[in-house]
A and B are shown apart, each in its own frame.
Chain A
Amino acid sequence: MIDAAERYLRGEMDEQEIAMFEELRKTNPEIDQFVVEHHLFVEEIERYGDLKRFKANMYDVHHSLKETGEIGDVKPKEKGMLVHMWDRYRKVIAVAASIAGLTALLISGLVMMFSPKAPISDIEELKKKVNNLEVSTKSQANVLNDVKKKIEPGTPISFGGTSFLIDGKGYLLTSSHVVSDASQVFVQNNKGQDFRAEIIYNDVKRDLAILKINDQDFKPLINLPYGIRKSASELAEPIFTLGYPKDEIVYGEGYLSAMTGFKGDTMSSQITISANPGNSGGPVLNKNGEVIGMLNARQRTAEGVVFAVKSQHIFRTIDELKRLDSIQNIKMSTSSSIRGMERTQQVKKIEECIYMVKVVMK
């Protein structure tokens, strides 16, 4: 049947056959339906084939033209156009800007009124006080690794936390409260090597800070093993974290227990995990190795209740940062290359990107 239909549609039948077939179609509605359907289908599959060929051709052309440099050379934004637009719409822009300004003031006032007051005593920020004696254990580690000491002996390290790379070029994310009041910041990797770092952005409101390693000894990484998750996470999702509550990296496991943070704060989420001072600034990862947040505080009045800044706010902060235009080249990957690996393997990859933060107070 299908053979006949196909020959009919392709016009491969002779006149007599066509007449017979058409008679068959007229008398038998089922066959007619079949032919119509088959016609549509064949058209569809032929269009599919056709488009596929066209796409292949197009990719070829794109690739070869790109290689010869005949396309893809684009000048940056043309100023002339913008100036022209500015001249034309100056008045409109002025009105819009003043309206926007007033609205912004109003909204920020409202937000100030209704937002949860800064957690003062109920909540404990997980940075840790570092005793002077730890400096000596560190210097031991430094000798072992044959690393030239960057922190002069006797420098009073006063607070510590955790940070993790968000861009292999040396951009680290940590909690704002970890590096507040810092005069100098050092970060130490899991091998005990110290690097100088500077704070390039500090967002107290979201409790996020970005550090940049400024040190010749730092070798940039091309790819990070984990990605930063852009979409929201699921309740009860299993999570894990890595951090430096002590002088050595510590692994912890738990689950996402609420979608909001302290007193309903929508910027963070609540996780149940064991965390200690020093864990602040550590990444919170899901089983696929995607960063879903950054650990920042725990509730004093309850056991195991910890809060993490949601990853979406990490993106928002970076976006704001880019607008400030000092740093345009931060690129955060959203894909994780360690999906599906055993946890021990994942941790092995991730721990190289987790740094201890050591702060010298002002």
Chain B
Amino acid sequence: MSNYLQESVLLKGLANNDKEAVETIYKDNYNLVQQLVINNNGTEDDARDIFQEALIILYQKAKSDSFELNCQIKTYVYSVSRRLWLKRLQYNKRFETPVDNFSEMVSVEEDLSVHEKMDRQYSIMRGAMGKIGEPCKSLLEAFYVHHKNMQEIASFFGYTNADNAKNQKYKCLMRLKKLFFAQYKNGN
């Protein structure tokens, strides 16, 4: 029971992007995944990519309102990583079934397809962000990524007041929106 409690605390921490929680999950699970990847034709870099992608999937899951995890974090992270690595192997046309020594596994197909869709949208947004140029990119990132308020942004970017910064932000946002939807509507 205490184990169960501990896990739910960890997941809550993860959902809040809490450094300690991420660290704990990392420590408990990374080596297992690295072993899987390296024993199956992968490198350390591959292992890092795969593990981080699995962690992102868990993170997004933990954040969603309808979140429930029916197994241990370890089982989930391992199952996702294993599936991701298998996909990568198949993509590289090396059809092999990973040899592993961790027998507990859950089905993760559904979560993966949700993640794939989100990942696509993420890269569309990243592409659009890359195209709008400076200072728009920094300005929007200051607001949406780093959660700075308009006052801070105005002083940082050298606008005379928060209203000016806000105007500029709207202009940038409109441009970003146009770029984003141009891609988004193409892709869907």
Contacts and interface: CB of A to CB of B under 8 A. Distances in A.
Whether A and B are associated in the same complex: the answer reads yes
Interface residues of B, number: 42
Contacts of B55: 58
Given A81-B101, A82-B99, A72 B26 contact: no
A interface: dominant SS: helix
Nearest to A60: B19
Contact of B144 (A45, A62, A74): A45
A91 interface: no
A54 B17 contact: yes
A341 interface: no
Contacts of B174: 2
A65 B126 CA distance: 28
B26 A52 contact: no
Interface in A245-292: none
Nearest to B20: A61
Contacts, number: 92
B81 interface: no
B176 interface: yes
Contacts of A71: 26-27, 30-31, 34
B23 A61 contact: yes
B9 interface: no
A70 to B, nearest CB: 6
Interface string A58-87: 101110010000111111011011100100
A65 B30 contact: yes
B115 to A, nearest CB: 11
Interface string B62-99: 01000000000000000000000000000000000001
A61 B31 contact: no
The contact size tier of chain A is 35 or more
Interface string B22-52: 1100110011001100110000100010001
Contacts of B22: 57-58, 61
A30 to B, nearest CB: 16
Residue among A37, A57, A75, A80 with most chain B CB within 10 A: A57
B interface: dominant SS: helix
B99 A85 contact: yes
A231 B72 CA distance: 42
Interface string B131-162: 00000000011001111000000000000000
Contacts of B126: 48
A55 B56 contact: yes
Given A54-B59, A82-B99, A49 B31 contact: no
B121 A57 contact: no
Contacts of A203: none
A15 interface: no
Contacts of B121: 44, 47
Interface string A23-59: 0000000000000011001001111111111110110
A3 interface: yes
A55 B170 CA distance: 26
Interface string B106-145: 0000000000001001100110010000000000110011
5 tightest CB-CB pairs across the interface, nearest first? A49-B145, A49-B144, A48-B125, A71-B30, A81-B101
Interface of B: 17, 19, 22-23, 26-27, 30-31, 34-35, 38-39, 44, 48, 52, 55-56, 59-60, 63, 99-101, 118, 121-122, 125-126, 129, 140-141, 144-147, 170, 173-174, 176-177, 180-181
Given A45-B176, A48-B145, A81-B99, 18 more contacts: A37-B181, A41-B177, A49-B145, A50-B63, A51-B56, A53-B146, A54-B59, A55-B52, A62-B52, A65-B23, A65-B27, A65-B30, A71-B26, A71-B27, A71-B31, A71-B34, A74-B31, A78-B101
